[in-house]
Structure 1
């Protein structure tokens, strides 16, 4: 009878465990990380090139970069134009700003996801699920439909979105804090509740809009997209994403300590209360700025940091740059699919990311361990 119930293939589990250890050893080697980061950078460059090439009017890669080179300071007028005026307009005025905005949006959402997941020590969290994007959407729709916050001038949309996302994030943290402590379950539930409230507020604002044309554009914007991309819109998102990533990289030790639990972080000298506020402000700044230029795009901050941790480990000194590049590549390709899948019609990019992120979220839920440091 003992032989009957003995596992038939115990070596299989031993081999699987051994292969996991081998991959972890390779993954933790400095050369692997540098090579992987370089390959991601090359992959992003290839992605940008292909994304600019593809469209109703296909353009050769050499022409793409020749046009881009001709617009560099000091070069314009110094080289003969071998492309048509239409090609120059399509590449430089339409496709390049859109693709580069996608790079900033994808990288920023991924970095914001890293910050929020470290904040609540749970890989199921992202700006979309916790209601941060919804808070930014409330303020942004007020600006778009009713011209609110005009005293901010040309920065009304960006600053109001930041304030909306900050308010939503603070609401989530306050609601989840009971007896001086926060559990990840309460954080997730509070985030879902705040997200539903903010979404209802956004829908109410849209329903009260005076113009039908404005309602249609606001609804399309709420589903996320890069259609309004212009060179003028790139400066603020790019600066905020770079600044947010650098600030988080400076605090990578505190981020690593936070994943081990509050007690361990305090033992290592981390001021938990001050550091949580620091993370809340950075996550709100990143999310609000991105929502103001692209609308609400979900699941990027959920998927990309998790994939980055699987590939390079949980050290935030590695996770942050890898997430930045992976998020940029993912959004650019999502935008390519949104443009070409039903051409000449165009899908909102939020639909594409939701189709990818929904199954990924379900897969995370089905796993036995979806949190950091044993917290669930």
Structure 2
């Protein structure tokens, strides 16, 4: 009976997701009806949509953004779940350790220096990725130096690096940036999906998918992390080693996300809590639920960001924060932000 209920829930969520995705593809300056959008998507899938202007709008403009938004929501939600287990802190998120500030510092350096491309790739994104990963490597090295359990050392190191990188960003902007560069930095730090393209999105999807499979396969270890290192040692698990591996994998996902669309907060913080409210605290269920909810959340946020103001686009990071902050405050007030039953 429980299995039938689970299958029914998953089927319902998938159908709802398909309906929402079909609806959001049709939204925009040129509105396309629900049924017509479904027909065009089917024609694109069959390869028979040649010469259709609306099909070109969907395939070249809207679908790349929609897919990137879905993958970004997927990746940030998964890494949020994992970071909350790794840190044993239900208020942790992918950017807790200063990864976002490291990425921001890298991006600002690229903008200030005027770099445009590195080996054919976007220079700002490449520098942001390197900044995020450099911060992560430094945090892992510090955790090796200051103890095996490592959660306190990792948290404090991340907070310190976050402050240093934020100060570096402010210093560079105040000294070197002109008005045009400041505008570019500000827009990039608030996130954007305007540069979505199929190749980069495909790479990001492959990385997020395979790493998330690894997390789901090792969901037992994530559950053990919530119990603490002392309990896990008695069961034969070295959580300090696994914790560093998980942090590196999360940094890889976040770094690639930052490369593609800049810094977007709150998704990895809020979505895992909603997933726990729906399916409990077992990570074997929380991870897939978070992935689906994260995709839907980001897709809806993208539609709002490009349609709420006619003729212009609101940075998606702003939209996500405006939506996510009240939800998170509600979770705090209702005391539903902790780990649920398994």
Bin of the TM-score, shorter chain as denominator length = 0.7 to 0.9
State how far apart, in whole Å, the 2-side matches of 1:193 and 1:80 are: 54
- TM-score normalised by the chain length of structure 2: 0.86
Q: Which has the larger radius of gyration?
A: 1
Aligned to 1:257: 224
> Is the contact made by 1:166 and 1:284 (CA closer than 8 Å) also made in structure 2?
yes
> Is the contact made by 1:98 and 1:227 (CA closer than 8 Å) also made in structure 2?
yes
State how far apart, in whole Å, the 1-side matches of 2:335 and 2:298 are: 29
> Is the contact made by 1:135 and 1:168 (CA closer than 8 Å) also made in structure 2?
yes
- Match status 1:68 vs 2:46: no
Kindly report which structure 2 residues correspond to 1:73-112, keeping only aligned pairs within 5 A, or say none.
Answer: 75-76=46-47, 78=48, 83=52, 85=53, 87-112=54-79
Deviations 1:285-315 (A, max 9, x none): 1110111111111110011111111111111
- 1:317 CA displacement: 1.3
- 1:273 CA displacement: 2.1
State how far apart, in whole Å, the 2-side matches of 1:89 and 1:133 are: 35
Instruction: Rate the CA distance shift 1:31–1:313 in 2: closer, same or farther, 3 A.
Output: farther
Corresponding residue to 1:320 among 282, 287, 292: 287
Aligned to 1:336: 303
State how far apart, in whole Å, the 2-side matches of 1:201 and 1:340 are: 34
Instruction: Rate the CA distance shift 1:89–1:144 in 2: closer, same or farther, 3 A.
Output: farther
Aligned to 2:32: 59
> Is the contact made by 1:40 and 1:326 (CA closer than 8 Å) also made in structure 2?
no
Aligned to 1:267: 234
Aligned to 1:42: 15
- 1:190 CA displacement: 4.5
| Secondary structure of the corresponding residue to residue 234 of structure 1 | helix
Q: Which runs of 5+ in 2 are unaligned?
A: none
> Is the contact made by 2:306 and 2:312 (CA closer than 8 Å) also made in structure 1?
yes
State how far apart, in whole Å, the 2-side matches of 1:320 and 1:132 are: 21
Aligned to 1:142: 109
Instruction: Rate the CA distance shift 1:89–1:126 in 2: closer, same or farther, 3 A.
Output: same
Point out the more displaced range, 172-181 or 291-300. Answer: 172-181
- 1:46 CA displacement: 1.6
State how far apart, in whole Å, the 1-side matches of 2:319 and 2:50 are: 40
- 1:162 CA displacement: 3.8
Aligned to 2:258: 291
State how far apart, in whole Å, the 1-side matches of 2:50 and 2:265 are: 44
Instruction: Rate the CA distance shift 1:68–1:143 in 2: closer, same or farther, 3 A.
Output: farther
Aligned to 2:269: 302
Point out the more displaced range, 125-134 or 210-219. Answer: 210-219
- Match status 1:194 vs 2:167: no
| Secondary structure of the corresponding residue to residue 309 of structure 2 | coil
- TM-score normalised by the chain length of structure 1: 0.79
Aligned to 1:33: 6
RMSD: 3.0
State how far apart, in whole Å, the 1-side matches of 2:331 and 2:157 are: 19
State how far apart, in whole Å, the 2-side matches of 1:44 and 1:294 are: 22
Deviations 1:256-310 (A, max 9, x none): 1111111122222222122011101111011101111111111100111111111
Q: Which runs of 5+ in 1 are unaligned?
A: 1-25
| Secondary structure of the corresponding residue to residue 31 of structure 2 | coil
- State the number of aligned residues: 339
Instruction: Rate the CA distance shift 1:124–1:65 in 2: closer, same or farther, 3 A.
Output: same
Point out the more displaced range, 117-126 or 45-54. Answer: 45-54
Deviations 1:189-243 (A, max 9, x none): 5444432322332344445566644432232111012122222331121111112
